[in-house]
């Protein structure tokens, strides 16, 4: 039997030993020479390849937008009429496309990004669905419809309809 004078230090030592074992189990131990990269932030989706290639978007496009889905057909006709003054999507130097971000006067190279949910996005480098990205709502090779992810930009710009001005070369 342990005397009362020793009970408290023994109990404290037992708690310290249990905590040491618990904390030791939580840490990782590696004998390898390389250290693994940082783990992705929780909730941040990795950038995946898009199902649309940049070269499929390069060219001249008529551009218009709509808010109400029932206006889509009429808006496509309006976009086609804009081919007199086309919006040009250029090829980027790093494999992306050159387009405008919301509220930016100067176009810049943007990436095509895929997501685990099968959606495609166009935007600056980073996880898909970022605030500056636009989601590709539909694309059939002739008509591209996008919507900005940022709710304020989406409200102001609506669904952007791009209609190819000429057949692809």
pLDDT tens column, 101-113: 999 999 999 999 9
Interatomic CA distance for residues 51 and 118, integer angstroms: 8
Helix (H) or strand (E) segment spanning residue 66: strand 59-66
For residue 40, pLDDT beyond 70: no
Write out pLDDT tens, residues 106-161. Answer: 999 999 999 999 999 999 999 999 999 999 999 999 999 999 999 999 999 999 99
E-strand spans in 2-94?
48-49, 59-66, 87-91
Helix (H) or strand (E) segment spanning residue 59: strand 59-66
Rounded to 10 degrees, what is the CA torsion of 12, 18, 21, 23?
-80
- Phi, psi for residue 53 in degrees, rounded to 5: -90, 150
């Amino acid at each position: 039997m342990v005397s009362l004078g020793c009970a408290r230090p023994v109990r404290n030592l037992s708690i310290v030993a249990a905590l040491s074992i618990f904390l030791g189990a939580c840490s990782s131990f590696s004998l390898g020479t390389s250290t693994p990269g940082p783990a992705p932030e929780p909730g941040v989706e990795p950038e995946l390849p898009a199902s649309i290639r940049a070269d499929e978007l390069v060219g001249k496009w008529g551009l218009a937008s709509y808010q109400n889905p029932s206006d889509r057909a009429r808006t496509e006709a309006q976009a086609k009429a804009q081919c007199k003054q086309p919006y040009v999507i250029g090829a980027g130097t790093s494999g992306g496309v050159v387009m405008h971000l919301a509220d930016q006067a100067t176009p810049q190279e943007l990436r095509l990004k895929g997501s685990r949910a099968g959606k495609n996005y166009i935007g600056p480098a980073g996880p898909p669905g970022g605030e500056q990205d636009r989601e590709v709502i539909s694309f059939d090779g002739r008509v591209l419809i996008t919507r900005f992810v940022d709710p304020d930009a989406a409200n102001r710009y609506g669904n952007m309809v791009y209609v190819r001005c000429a057949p692809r070369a």
